[in-house]
Amino acid sequence: MFKRFKPAFWVYNFFKKSELKHNIPLYKKYGIKKRYFDSISSEDFKNLPEKQNKYDRLDSNDHMEQDVLWNSVEQRFYPALKKWSRDGYVILDKFFDEEKVEAINNEIDKLIQNKDVKFRYNGKKIMFSFHLSKLVHEVGVHEELMTILNLLMGKKVDLFSSINFIKGSEQRTHSDSIHMSTYPQGNLIAVWIALEDIGKDQGPLHYYPGSHKLPYLMNRDFDNVGNNLFLGPKSYPEYEDRIEELIEEKQLKKASFNARKGDILIWHANLLHGGNGMTDKNLTRKSMVFHYYSQDAICYHEVSQRPSFKKAMI
């Protein structure tokens, strides 16, 4: 019960103004009557107009090459990028070279050995390593990568989070918009990086091409709205069950990413994805994910109704 008590979050948030102030001008811009430390969820935006990003409105296949950023991207990536609007994901082969990937792996090993980082969330995820490592941060804001993300979003994005995996996440299918949510919707984008070759026994990433076009599934869609003082009563597995039903209902086709070391997969804010089970638990599945928010969107976490903390970059 106490975990669902919103005022406990408000008190904590109150002392974090430097990390929450990014939403203040945006609340003003969108006419949201909230203080920086208040709870926030999709319920607060339900009477506002839905605004779509450029390539949710336009077809990237027809329009992307007219974008000013297009010529700054390597031509070998053009065919993949043009499918963004249709598929909601983009695979860029060998985006990072062997040397860079090894440097990342060594850096993560060092952080683990020095006990600078901990595995959280079922012992599988190292969160925010880029706050501690210059090298990881540099990878997250790699110049061509940022150009591609800005191109796909039709606007500027900022790095928000990183997650490192040594084993597969084995996470059930979800859309990131339930975890890292925005108003307007769709203002999150993620980059998944293979830090080794990943075969079927290692619990590869899976995704559902085209699923980004489905309506965003938010608290109201699984009876989890709550009230002024308490978060909604539903547990996260109930969200995952609802997603599973949706996949069944819409007969969505699953794809798995048998990636080569250095390949990246960029996904849309609403693309359904997760991690397959590891059929050989002795193996590793080294990978890393970066999440980015658009600069002009309100950023928060739908399930916990918390505004997102944005730390200054190192």
Ligand X SMILES: O=C(O)CCC(=O)C(=O)O
In the complex, the residues that contact ligand X under the rule CB under 6 A are 163, 165, 168-169, 171, 176, 192, 205, 273-275, 287, 289
Least distance between ligand X and beta carbon 304 (Å)? 16
CB closer to ligand X out of 20 and 272: 272
Q: Which residues contact 149 (CB under 8 A, 6 or more apart)?
A: 157, 189, 191, 266, 292
Least Å distance between CB 190 and ligand X?
6
Terminal-to-terminal C-alpha distance of the chain: 37
Residue 12, H or E segment: helix 6-14
Nearest to 299 by CA among 308, 290, 310, 291: 308
Q: Strand 264-268 relative to strand 188-194: parallel, antiparallel, unpaired? A: antiparallel
- CB of 284 vs ligand X, minimal distance in Å: 13
- Name the residue nearer to ligand X (CB basis): 18 or 279: 279
**Nearer of residues 126 and 163 to ligand X, judged by Cβ:** 163
Rounded to whole angstroms, what are the CA distances from 136 to 83, 117, 278?
Answer: 28, 13, 26
Residues 6 or more apart in contact with residue 230 via CB below 8 angstroms: 1, 4, 5, 6
Q: Which is nearer to ligand X, 64 or 117 (CB)?
A: 117
CB neighbourhood size of 25 (10 A): 11
For ligand X, the closer of residues 82 and 285 by Cβ is 285
The distance of closest approach from Cβ of residue 204 to ligand X in the complex, given in angstroms and rounded to an integer, is: 8
- Nearer Cβ to ligand X (186/226): 186
Distance of CA 133 to the CA centre of its chain: 20
Residue 110 CB, shortest distance to ligand X, in Å, is: 22
Nearest distance, CB of residue 207 and ligand X, angstroms: 9
Residue nearest to ligand X (CB): 275
